[in-house]
């Protein structure tokens, strides 16, 4: 599975900026983890694909859309369809994307958590969770409806760190240079190796010469400003030509590169996905049935309360009706009932009285 790093998301979000000020035309959900947002932009129709847990890109292929949207997709359609996509940003250097939209009922924010297990969260203007694909409870935060959304603990953002701060972080750690850049500065393994190009990554930062330290600092700054030349190497997407990897195939856009790394599903995976779809459909049907039962229970409760409140009146009417019918017959009972303003009808065959109380 291809996992996008914080740097990959930095570059793909720059590419997705062209979607700002577009209209959300339609939202689709394929299986449980793949969402397609069809948008109307100044450049024509575009399709944004969110493939949980780790991928986001602009679609370059023909995809058959499902006819029946699952429940969560229906919810997104209700609150986001026809909204304007105002802003799309990466949260610091995290694998998190914020999509701000605005419609007739105000601003809605879509949070994409592109790290395992992945999640999509819809927030209102007060950043309260309206709904989410997966409900989660952690030690320091809850991702459930009606809770205020809190970001997971944020890592250091190398885009905002000064040279002095970077030097301090790399000097104070016990990790080797490559490991420190990958974890302490959040670049991940493949880009840590690129930053350490022609420098021994197994050394500690404090062991480097001044010239090597300057090279590391320069490489960190420069990696955010590389010329965009999307390519793949060993079936992994890169937004620029790597010094440490051989580019095997080049593409026009980084999105196209990410999408090209899709792996074909095995038969067992296809079988598993079909089973998950059936389970999801069953869950959706059960939730609809539960909602119907809740309404039915509420209605029956109201009927029960009404009968309880009017018990004495109804019981007296019932006893008098039985007495008149037994002593004088059904016709006389009907005449007596017609004198009541609440009386609507009498079914003589079924012996039922209809009142409007």
Do 201 and 110 belong to one domain? no
Do 232 and 176 belong to one domain? yes
Do 19 and 134 belong to one domain? yes
Boundary-marking domain end, from 152, 182, 209: 152
pLDDT of the residue at 271 = 62
Does residue 1 lie in a domain region?
Answer: no
pLDDT-flagged residues of the chain (< 70) = 263-274, 276-277, 284, 356
Do 193 and 57 belong to one domain? no
pLDDT of the residue at 264 = 44
Q: Which domain holds residue 272?
A: 267-309
Do 17 and 142 belong to one domain? yes
What is the distance between the alpha carbons of residues 131 and 111, in angstroms, rounded to a whole number? 11
Do 12 and 145 belong to one domain? yes
Tokens, residue 231: 């390519």
pLDDT of the residue at 184 = 95
pLDDT of the residue at 267 = 43
pLDDT of the residue at 66 = 87
Do 202 and 130 belong to one domain? no
How many structural domains does the chain have? 4
pLDDT of the residue at 303 = 77
Do 71 and 58 belong to one domain? yes
Do 114 and 10 belong to one domain? yes
What single string gives the DSSP state of each residue in 172-223?
H-SS-HHHHHHHTS---HHHHHHHTTTS-TTS-GGGS-HHHHHHHHHHHHHT
Tokens, residue 129: 């969770």
Do 19 and 132 belong to one domain? yes
Do 51 and 186 belong to one domain? no
pLDDT of the residue at 270 = 54
Tell me, what CATH number does 12's domain have? 2.30.310.10
């Amino acid at each position: 599975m291809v996992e996008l790093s914080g740097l990959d998301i930095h570059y793909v979000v720059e590419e997705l900026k062209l979607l700002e000020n577009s209209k959300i035309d339609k939202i689709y959900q394929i299986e449980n983890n793949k969402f397609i947002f069809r948008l109307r932009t100044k450049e024509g129709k575009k399709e944004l694909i969110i493939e949980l847990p780790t991928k986001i890109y602009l679609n370059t292929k023909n995809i058959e859309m499902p006819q029946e949207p699952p429940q969560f997709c229906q919810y997104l359609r209700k609150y986001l369809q026809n909204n304007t996509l105002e802003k799309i940003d990466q949260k610091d250097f995290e694998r998190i994307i914020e999509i701000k939209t605005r419609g007739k009922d105000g601003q809605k924010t879509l949070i994409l958590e592109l790290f395992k297990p992945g999640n999509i969260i819809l927030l209102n203007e007060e950043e309260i969770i309206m709904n989410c694909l997966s409900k989660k409870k952690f030690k320091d935060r809850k991702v459930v409806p009606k809770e205020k959304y809190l970001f997971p603990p944020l890592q250091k953002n190398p885009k905002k760190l000064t040279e002095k701060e970077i030097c301090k972080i790399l000097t104070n750690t016990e990790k080797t240079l490559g490991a420190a850049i990958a974890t302490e500065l959040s670049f991940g393994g493949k880009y840590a190796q690129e930053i350490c190009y022609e420098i021994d990554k197994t050394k500690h930062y404090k062991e480097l010469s001044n010239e090597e330290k300057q090279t590391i600092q320069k490489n960190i700054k420069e990696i955010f400003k590389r010329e965009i030349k999307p390519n793949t190497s060993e079936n992994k997407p890169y937004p620029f030509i790597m010094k440490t990897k051989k580019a095997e195939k080049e593409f026009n856009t980084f999105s196209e590169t990410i999408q090209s790394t899709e792996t074909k599903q095995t038969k067992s995976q296809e079988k598993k996905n079909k089973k998950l779809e059936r389970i999801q459909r069953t869950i959706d049907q059960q939730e609809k049935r539960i909602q119907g039962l809740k309404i039915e229970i509420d209605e029956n409760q109201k009927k029960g309360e009404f009968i309880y409140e009017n018990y004495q009146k109804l019981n007296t009417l019932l006893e008098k009706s039985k007495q008149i019918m037994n002593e004088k017959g059904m016709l006389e009972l009907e005449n007596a009932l017609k004198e009541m303003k609440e009386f609507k009808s009498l079914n003589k065959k079924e012996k039922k009285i209809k009142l409007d109380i």
